[in-house]
Structure 1
Amino acid sequence: MDALQNILQRVSAPQLTGPDVTAEQLDTLIQAALRAPDHAWLRPSHYISVQGEGRVALGEVFYQATPDREQLSPEKQQKIRNMAMRAPLVLVAVTKIVDHPKVPREELLLSTGAGIQNILSAAWAMGLGAIWRTGDLAYNSGVKQELGLADDEEIVGFIYVGHVNCKLKQPPELSSADFLTSWDGKSE
């Protein structure tokens, strides 16, 4: 697939199914993520792959991290437990926050975000679908602890990857002029 067409046509795929993502495809996704901009080559990003029965365990982690879970209906409790089952592969994108005189915290997080975008584009180029999700669970200390993250690590998102199992929305036609201004350095 042409690189520009891939970028211009990619959309998030909210419903994903098997077959499983292959080891070769997973390697390609991670290699794409590692090409993200990385000021001072700090390598702040890493990714946790959750597949197979690991998704059931991650669903239980999500459930245990949900406040007032016992007050939820049985259907809502099961929905939370099934969240990680929405795709054959869940990648947890993590940023290690390091003190650096020239690289602020925000740049570290943005580097991981750029890596996630590369994963989404690479998945699309390989004929896979993907979606980046966050929500309260991405910021939950219990989830971080269960995933073995250190205090200086943050979850930037959960990337669900698999084969598209739904009708995808068409990318909206947007005019660049609505999102672009010029600045000539002069005050008005």
Structure 2
Amino acid sequence: MNTTDWITDIALVLVVFRQLREGRLDLRSYLIPLGIVAFVGSHYLHTVPTAGNDLVLIGALVAAGAALGIAGGVYTRIRESGGHLLIKAGAVSAVLWVLGMGARMGFQVWVDHGGADNVARFSADHDITTGQAWVAAFVLMALTEVVTRLGTIFVRSRLAVRGQQQPAGARPAPLLDRAA
């Protein structure tokens, strides 16, 4: 791993720690993590291999990223105060985020320090055709985790806003309003 890899991986892990302290849910809450994963995607994701079982590997890690992202978004507290939405990552959300982002970093460190032969054997045994399949799988996992976490937070924030506008005891409005 080079310096850029370390800085990027650490920045992705630290994003959630910024939200351990309650703060306003605003455009920056979305743009900072999206900017980091956009950089990661453009820097590392050059191709998405489709031969052999490459897509199975990619699909499995993308699914894991989606599960971690949705769960992380669900375990992030969103509340209204003074006309603003406030967000705070809970302990479960932080652990899930670090688990997902840390797994990618840990895998790379392991491969760089003795695990490459094991990965090569696993890849050969399971018809994973290139190292780029692993890169694509982990990058897409991280991207999916970020996008699904932010998407979950966004939906929950919209529901919170709509819930504030309803009289006590009224049913919340549907997520998407239909035009008549």
Normalising by the smaller structure, the TM-score range is: under 0.3
Q: Which has the higher helix share?
A: 2
TM-score between both structures, scaled by the size of structure 2:
0.28
Q: Which has the higher strand share?
A: 1
